[in-house]
A and B are shown apart, each in its own frame.
Chain A
Amino acid sequence: MNYNWDWNIFFKSTGIGSEIYLDWFISGLGWTIAVALVAWIAALAIGSVLGVMRTLPGKVLPAIATAYVELFRNVPLLVQLFMWYFVVPDYLPEATQIWFKQELNPATSAYISVVVCLALFTAARVCEQVRTGIQALPRGQSAAALAVGFSIGQTYRYVLLPQAFRVIIPPLTSEFLNIFKNSSVASLIGLMELLAQTKQTAEFSANIFEAFTLATVIYFVLNMSLMTLMNLIEKKVRIPGMMGGAK
Chain B
Amino acid sequence: MDFSQIIPSLPSLWDGMKLTLQLLALAVLGGIVLGTVLALARMSSNTVLSGLAKAYVNYFRSIPLLLVITWFYLAVPMILNWITGEFIAVGAFTSCLVAFVMFEAAYYCEIVRAGIQSISKGQLNAAYALGMNYGQAMRLIMLPQAFRKMTPLLLQQSIILFQDTSLVYAVGLIDFLNAARARGDIMGQSHEFLIFAGAVYFVISFGASTVVKRLQKRLAV
Contacts and interface: CB of A to CB of B under 8 A. Distances in A.
Interface in B123-164: 163-164
B90 to A, nearest CB: 14
Given A1-B81, A75-B198, A79-B166, A216 B67 contact: yes
Contact of A90 (B64, B170, B191, B197): B191
Given A215-B67, A219-B63, A220-B63, A75 B191 contact: no
Contact of A79 (B170, B177, B191): B177
Given A86-B194, A90-B191, A74 B67 contact: no
Interface stretch (B29-37, B42-50, B69-77, B113-121): B69-77
A33 interface: no
Most-contacted residue by chain B among A177, A208, A224 (CB, 10 A): A208
B201 A75 contact: yes
B201 to A, nearest CB: 5
Interface stretch (A105-113, A136-144, A156-164, A182-190): A182-190
Nearest to A181: B64
Contacts of A77: 163
B9 interface: no
B14 interface: no
Interface in A74-133: 74-80, 82-83, 86-87, 90
A19 interface: no
Contact of A76 (B64, B163, B190, B209): B163
A182 B190 contact: no
A76 B206 contact: no
Nearest to B170: A188
Interface string A151-189: 000000000000000000000000001000110110110
A208 B64 contact: no
A223 interface: yes
Contact of A86 (B62, B78, B87, B190): B190
A246 B205 CA distance: 44
B49 to A, nearest CB: 22
A39 interface: no
Nearest to B62: A223
B3 interface: no
B164 A83 contact: no
A195 interface: yes
Contact of A87 (B64, B191, B202): B191
Contacts of A198: 67, 70
A187 B66 contact: yes
Nearest to A80: B198
Contacts of A195: 64, 66-67, 70
A184 B64 contact: yes
Contacts of B177: 76, 78-79
A76 B87 CA distance: 35
A182 B64 contact: yes
A58 B94 CA distance: 51
Given A79-B197, A87-B191, A208 B74 contact: yes
Nearest to A213: B71
A208 B78 contact: yes
A79 to B, nearest CB: 5
Contacts of B66: 184-185, 187-188, 195
A74 to B, nearest CB: 4
A220 B62 contact: yes
A238 interface: no
Nearest to A220: B62
Contacts of A5: none
A195 B167 CA distance: 14
Contacts of A90: 191
Most-contacted residue by chain A among B62, B170, B205, B206 (CB, 10 A): B62
Interface of A: 1, 3, 70-71, 73-80, 82-83, 86-87, 90, 177, 181-182, 184-185, 187-188, 195, 198-199, 202, 208-209, 212, 215-216, 219-220, 223-224
Given A1-B81, A199-B70, A219-B63, 14 more contacts: A74-B201, A74-B205, A79-B177, A79-B198, A87-B194, A185-B66, A187-B66, A188-B170, A208-B71, A208-B74, A208-B75, A212-B74, A212-B75, A216-B67
